[in-house]
Amino acid sequence: MSRDSQAALAVPVIAVDGPSGSGKGTLARALADQLGWHLLDSGALYRIVGAMCVRRGVDFSQAGQQPKQERAVAALAAGLDIRFTGAAVWVDERDLTDEIRTEDAGANASKVAHLPAVRDAVLDLQRSFRRPPGLVADGRDMGTVVFTDAALKIFLDASAEERAQRRYKQLKNKGLSVSLRGLLAQIQDRDARDRGRAVAPLKPADDAIVVDSTSMSIEAVLELVLTEARHRGLC
């Protein structure tokens, strides 16, 4: 093992995994702010890969069955120049911040994310975010695959109905007209794909603390996680 990778391993990680709409993105950002640590939004990486496939006309509709399509998506993923500046996301010098946040981009992310070659292609990139003084890593497999040695693993869940409600309110507040029933169907569809896939399925790590946020405020969840972090000497 190189000296660089040994040094990286000494940097503590808090892994925050869970389904979309569970509040893990908000929790991860609040934790990173509070602790002064780096933040990895791993879902953004899969969203970027999906969006860039659409932009470049790389077909992934049959990639699960056609190795040639899977290889093309993985090659695209490996060649991207991705930069995060605050909440903004830059890809090959283009601002993709808004483009990757649509419901379609989420669905496409989930379709490219079930391809093993794509997950391999973004593994080192994800681990490169592990820098002092620490990293909060938000995703689906942070605790089970990418950072198995994380000092604290949180699996944040909430009922699909509650998650659809939260998303509905978010989109309404942005002035977008959406159907609650449609959002619930999309969430259930994405859940089924994320939980049922062969590689890195969405599930809590054996040593994760599972938190059901259905009837909890984000403040209460943050306090619970900070208490756990204090117990482990992370802050």
Residue 22 interacts with ligand C5P (CB under 6 A): yes or no: no
How far is the C-alpha of 215 from the C-alpha of 217, rounded, in Å? 7
Looking at the Cβ atoms of 7 and 142, the one nearer to ligand C5P is 142
Which stretch in 3-11, 107-115, 177-185, 221-229 sits in contact with ligand C5P by CB under 6 A? Answer: 107-115
Looking at the Cβ atoms of 141 and 157, the one nearer to ligand C5P is 141
Sequence length of the chain is 235
Which residues, numbered 38-77, are part of the site for ligand C5P (CB under 6 A)?
42-43, 46-47
State which of residues 38, 140, 163, 166 lies at the interface with ligand C5P (CB under 6 A). 140
Looking at the Cβ atoms of 130 and 190, the one nearer to ligand C5P is 190
Residue 108 interacts with ligand C5P (CB under 6 A): yes or no: no
State which of residues 23, 139, 143, 204 lies at the interface with ligand C5P (CB under 6 A). 139
42, 61, 180 from 56: Cα distances, Å: 21, 14, 32
Q: Give the ranges where 36-82 is alpha helix by DSSP (H).
A: 42-56, 67-78
Looking at the Cβ atoms of 191 and 235, the one nearer to ligand C5P is 191
Residue 141 interacts with ligand C5P (CB under 6 A): yes or no: yes
Residue 167 interacts with ligand C5P (CB under 6 A): yes or no: no
Which stretch in 2-10, 29-37, 59-67, 135-143 sits in contact with ligand C5P by CB under 6 A? Answer: 135-143
The 3-state DSSP class for residue 35 equals helix
DSSP per-residue letters across 163-184: HHHHHHHHHHHTT----HHHHH
**Residue 15 β-bridge partners:** 137, 153
State which of residues 38, 163, 166, 190 lies at the interface with ligand C5P (CB under 6 A). 190
b/e sequence 168-200, b meaning 16+ C-beta within 10 Å: beeeeeeeeebeeeebbebbeebbebbeebeeb
Residue 37 interacts with ligand C5P (CB under 6 A): yes or no: no
All residues at 6 or more sequence positions from 95 whose CB lies less than 8 Å from its CB, including other chains: 88, 89
Residues that bind ligand C5P (CB under 6 A): 20, 42-43, 46-47, 106, 109-110, 113, 139-141, 190, 194
